[in-house]
Amino acid sequence: MKKNTIFYVIVIFIILGGWGCSSKNHNFSGVVIKPNLLQQKWADAEIGVLIHFDMPVYYPEYNWRKWGNHPNASSFNPTELNTDQWIETASKLGAKYAVLVAKHGSGFCLWPTEAHGYSIKHSPWKNGNGDIVKDFVNSCKKNGIKPGIYASTTANGYLHVDNPGLVQEGAPVTQEEYNEIVKKQLTELWTNYGELFEIWFDGGVLSMERGGAEVLPLLKKLQPNAIAFQGPYGYPNLVRWVGNEEGVAPYPCWATADSTTSSDGIMAINGLNGDPFAPFWCPGESDFTLRWNKSFQGGWFWHVGQDSMIFSVDELIKKYETSVGRNTNMLLGIVIDKRGLVPDADVQRIKEFGDAIRAKYTNPIAETSGTGNEFVLNLSTPTTIDHLIIQEDISLGERVLKYRIQGEKDGSWINMCTGSCIGHKRIETFAPITLNQIRLIIGESKATPQIKSFRVFEAE
């Protein structure tokens, strides 16, 4: 579904006065890289959804790389479309933001673009007078969800453009003409729908040096407060991919990084852990589908007869723990069916998933915070526990490098687990154990540890 560009590199521009810079030399210089306020708010959101709706829903046999074979715009007619239902479903999960795929690989646009003739404007839905992007943003605002837009520039079947944004031989447009179309469409999306919380550049952005469009100045001008996933070199509010589409961030997964890595989005890759001594704040976002990865289009698009191919609640909770619980945001893929609705089975499972997160992680039995290297939680009575949360105050940067968790049982302290990266949120799970006390000991740090929360939960 994504990240199928041949090459992309993400680096964050260092804002004067806002960030420091350190070398990769592990003889630490004393500089702690800090996020800007926008990146802090993005991390606090923790949970988002990514909504896909495109021609494969109506023509599952369609391959956008077979140039000139695109379905007619008249095929797209979601007679029951209701973006309120989409966003209400996201709310059941507990999502704080939603990203709509406004244009995927087909090139078909869910808004009435003036750049070319392959869009919702030329479909029978609302007699060509509809605008799904507008409806989506309005539904987000109504439900208190922050809106985002997937704005891929790297693929367009209608115009014969393949990753990483290169016009193919025999295409109906030249590379220069396509670049102007990219700029026009991004201008439409970034101007007509208000301020966006996150912008998705699926597969990155083809640089001007390699023949791509001039995207960076446009982004800085029109959406300076948006977080950009795989955005252009020099943009200050970037986030990175974690190397798979399974909701499994590598551990450790530091928010600071040197760059990202080339990948096609299908095979898991190593080396996306970040680096605690890297100079740029560029945290990870872990995307995954509600439906099995072996289902239609990797689970990103709806297909008839596959409602049973949905992950169990236990499997989804594990993905929450390996995404949010490993210092990244979680982005859940939601499909839209032919009616223009989230399928009933998906709505039910998403609600169950959200309920399970809240049941397991809302009510700690003990909690503390503060400054220092040791934090102790005294349990009122011997209690069986099996999971806990640690959070740093990331406004002051990621400071902790090594820690261990110990529990006091029958008057003796026993080692339970060890770790390195904490960052915005670290979830530790372990076999149930009955304890009187539990403590966090920080053995190595870049500066005085600032623990926002250390909290423990009773075993289910």
| 179-193, 248-262, 290-304, 440-454: range with lowest mean pLDDT | 248-262
pLDDT value of position 271: 66
pLDDT in tens, 168-221: 999 999 999 999 999 999 999 999 999 999 999 987 888 888 888 999 999 999
pLDDT tops 90 at residue 458: yes
pLDDT tops 80 at residue 385: yes
Instruction: Identify the CA nearest to 350 among candidates 94, 99, 47, 93.
Output: 93
pLDDT value of position 226: 97
pLDDT value of position 398: 98
Instruction: Identify the CA nearest to 36 among candidates 236, 219, 221.
Output: 236
CA–CA distance, 391 with 256 (Å, rounded to integer): 16
399, 35 Cβ separation under 8 angstroms: no
pLDDT in tens, 294-331: 899 899 999 999 999 999 999 999 999 999 999 999 99
Supply 77's token pair.
């007619």
Give the pLDDT mean for 327-350. Answer: 98
pLDDT tops 90 at residue 358: yes
* 6 CB neighbour count, 10 Å cutoff: 15
Give the pLDDT mean for 331-338. Answer: 98
Question: Residue 175 belongs to what H/E stretch?
Answer: helix 175-191
State the maximum Cα–Cα separation within the chain, in Å, rounded to a whole number: 77
pLDDT band at residue 121 under the 50/70/90 scheme: very high
pLDDT value of position 378: 96
pLDDT tops 60 at residue 265: no
pLDDT band at residue 264 under the 50/70/90 scheme: very low
Give the pLDDT mean for 404-429. Answer: 96
pLDDT tops 90 at residue 19: no
pLDDT value of position 36: 95
pLDDT tops 70 at residue 383: yes
pLDDT tops 90 at residue 27: no
* Composition of the chain by helix, strand, coil, percent to 5: 25, 30, 50
- The ranges of the chain annotated as CATH 2.60.120.260 are 366-458
The H helix count followed by the E strand count for the chain is 7, 18
Location of structure tokens 């896909």: 52
Instruction: Identify the CA nearest to 369 among candidates 353, 393, 352.
Output: 393
pLDDT value of position 30: 64
| CATH number of the structural domain 37-361 | 3.20.20.80
**pTM score of the predicted model:** 0.91
pLDDT tops 70 at residue 20: no
pLDDT value of position 360: 97
- The ranges of the chain annotated as CATH 3.20.20.80 are 37-361
Pairing of strands 238-241, 256-257: unpaired
| 37-41, 84-88, 249-253, 292-296: range with lowest mean pLDDT | 292-296
pLDDT tops 80 at residue 270: no
Average per-residue pLDDT for the chain: 90
pLDDT tops 70 at residue 269: no
pLDDT band at residue 231 under the 50/70/90 scheme: confident
Percent of the chain with pLDDT over 70: 91
pLDDT in tens, 54-71: 999 999 999 999 999 999
pLDDT value of position 204: 80
Hey, what CATH topology would domain 366-458 get? Jelly Rolls (2.60.120)
pLDDT tops 80 at residue 14: no
